Chains A and B, each alone.
Chain A
């Protein structure tokens, strides 16, 4: 059985859970994401997305966050 292929956070649907593989972000964004708990190995849950291409609502640990699509595309995940 082959492992599920990796994808970006932006491709998850509401309700999906995934494990973060890597952050492909510049320094400023990388540190901010890390400080908010988005680090490799952590699991993340897609809660919902706003209409008209608005931000995502996600949950990491006990923290709920919103982030825009371009930033979400920089986070590699593997669906659980």
Chain B
């Protein structure tokens, strides 16, 4: 099968073009010698099927960024029959340099000038045929977002598949002459509406408060919409369980039905519970990113983040992490420097997510007077931010941001519903494919630990988890975390949502009886120490699964689990020992 590669600078709408050409059927794939996943899809051009590969956006072939390396490696090692070079039509003047550099690969080129509608709105005129004559390649003007010019593009691609390889690459003087004679840019080409909006959103005084306001509203919207959907989904899963699965397995041996229901089925429902959040998060991300606000947020907050070796985009993801760490980790893909991305991924899990919040609300209500409750919760948020700051300061010299911080501030744009829907769909599929097996395996492991040996009462101190709790006592005892609470921490490793449920199993009590049992056996110092540990150690199995699949580095995944554990131990130890002695 012939192969077409899509290349272009960032912010040229390259992914939108890819989606427009291929629809929703693109696949993520690995390539030999290439460290990132590339999207590819089959495409019917005329009478032949070709493979279209979306390469990462690059500025230059002479630079040193990882993405540039990926593109040069791909183009020199894989056979490519046609190169689809995407440029932003309103920035053609500077972007033609990349086209000239790509000509060295001697592959037939089709030049796509995307966002032609924006260029026209700016008063830029491009004489397509004259330009094609100068550069010696077929050119078409398209708007991938609105689907304009796609028919012509397909025809040009089909023709290029039969064309001989590119002659000699045009040199700088030819490009300059081509621009001079075929591209006309008015003296004052600026986006008026964008300028007006920026005057408010980037205002020296209003900018930051507006930014926090926007983030807060998005956040509220995600949970306002997401929580009922999550609850409905959980209800469906438990109905299926009680109405269909439990009767069907009634005759099976208890251990088998336990494994299938509490292990496999609970694992699958854990995975499913993330789906609505991921969809809504990427809906919010599409709004923030595709409108161009993400780069404005980076502009506003960069002064603070630069000190921690991070940048403004990291901040947005960390903030999103306070909702749910999993989509926030997936969102770090916008950062193209691996060092910066890994550092951000190391920091995100400290964000106090909504699942941990449930655990804290339960313990605070059980052990603290109502007057102290808000203060206790607030202190946990402070600790969450402090853990993130400490971590970035410790690791910023090892995970260095290699990419120069020179970002484009694109004009404001309205994403189309199609763009948003495709994005959500791609992300959910990616998460399900990468994380399902890992999460189900983890849930089964914890089920085995808390249910074996078979004679012991589930979750009790006679189970393997109970033995582990006793065995860990020398380590966790100095933190005030007794063997029973240790079992809860082992459950919490899977998901914080199940911690309270697991306490009911461990203490063999429910509701008010559970609260009073805990209040009798645990004092507030122990409870706060337990909450600190819960806040800082591994947020959940899904987070680890996501880190593992996104970072694609076993060593980094180990650090991402071990470091928070060490930090959790230190923080709880320091708190417990100080609080006990004073």
Contact = CB atoms under 8 A, between A and B. Distances in A.
Interface of A: 27-29, 31-37, 48, 50-55, 57, 59-68, 71
Interface residues of B, number: 40
B65 to A, nearest CB: 8
Nearest to B298: A66
Contacts of B62: 27, 31
A61 B407 contact: no
B49 interface: no
B199 to A, nearest CB: 9
Contacts of B303: 50-55
Nearest to A45: B190
Nearest to A42: B94
B47 interface: no
Interface in B403-427: 404-411
Given A61-B185, A62-B185, 7 more contacts: A32-B59, A37-B93, A51-B207, A53-B303, A62-B90, A66-B295, A66-B405
A57 B295 CA distance: 11
B60 A31 contact: yes
Contacts of A29: 404, 406
A48 B91 CA distance: 21
A66 B406 contact: yes
B304 interface: yes
A62 B189 contact: yes
A37 B9 CA distance: 12
Contact of B202 (A31, A57, A59, A60): A57
Interface in B167-210: 185, 189-190, 202, 204, 207-208
Return the 7 tightest CB-CB contacts between A and B, nearest first. A54-B303, A35-B59, A37-B94, A64-B409, A52-B303, A31-B63, A35-B60
Interface string B48-75: 0000000000011011110000000000
A64 to B, nearest CB: 4
Nearest to A48: B202
Given A32-B404, A48-B202, A54 B190 contact: no
B98 interface: yes
Nearest to A28: B64
A63 B300 contact: no
A51 B94 contact: no
Q: Which of A59, A60, A63 has the most CB of B within 10 A?
A: A63
Given A31-B60, A32-B59, A35-B60, A68 B302 contact: yes
Contacts of A66: 295, 298-299, 302, 405-407, 409
A54 B302 contact: yes
12 contacts: A29-B406, A32-B59, A36-B94, A50-B202, A50-B207, A50-B303, A51-B208, A57-B299, A62-B122, A66-B409, A68-B405, A71-B405
Contacts of B407: 65-67
Contacts of A61: 91, 93-94, 185
Nearest to B63: A31
Contacts, number: 107
B230 to A, nearest CB: 37
B262 to A, nearest CB: 51
A23 B402 CA distance: 19
B97 interface: yes
Contact of A63 (B63, B301, B408): B408
A35 B190 contact: no
B302 A36 contact: no
Nearest to B119: A62
Contacts of A33: 404, 406
B9 A50 contact: no
A36 B59 contact: yes
Nearest to A14: B204
Contacts of A34: 60, 97
Contact of B97 (A35, A48, A67): A35
A17 B59 CA distance: 25
A64 B295 CA distance: 11
B194 to A, nearest CB: 8
B574 interface: no
A75 to B, nearest CB: 11
Contact of A62 (B91, B97, B306, B404): B91
Given A62-B122, A62-B185, A62-B189, A55 B208 contact: no
Contacts of A71: 404-406
A60 B407 CA distance: 13
B179 to A, nearest CB: 11
Nearest to B208: A51
A67 B298 CA distance: 11
B63 A32 contact: yes
Among A34, A36, A68: residue with most chain B CB under 10 A: A36
B303 to A, nearest CB: 3
A37 to B, nearest CB: 4
A79 B448 CA distance: 72
Nearest to A61: B93
A37 B300 CA distance: 23
A4 to B, nearest CB: 22
Interface in B295-353: 295, 298-304, 306
A19 B410 CA distance: 22
A64 B299 contact: no
A62 to B, nearest CB: 5
Contacts of B409: 57, 64-66
B204 A35 contact: no
A32 B67 CA distance: 13
Contacts of B190: 59, 62
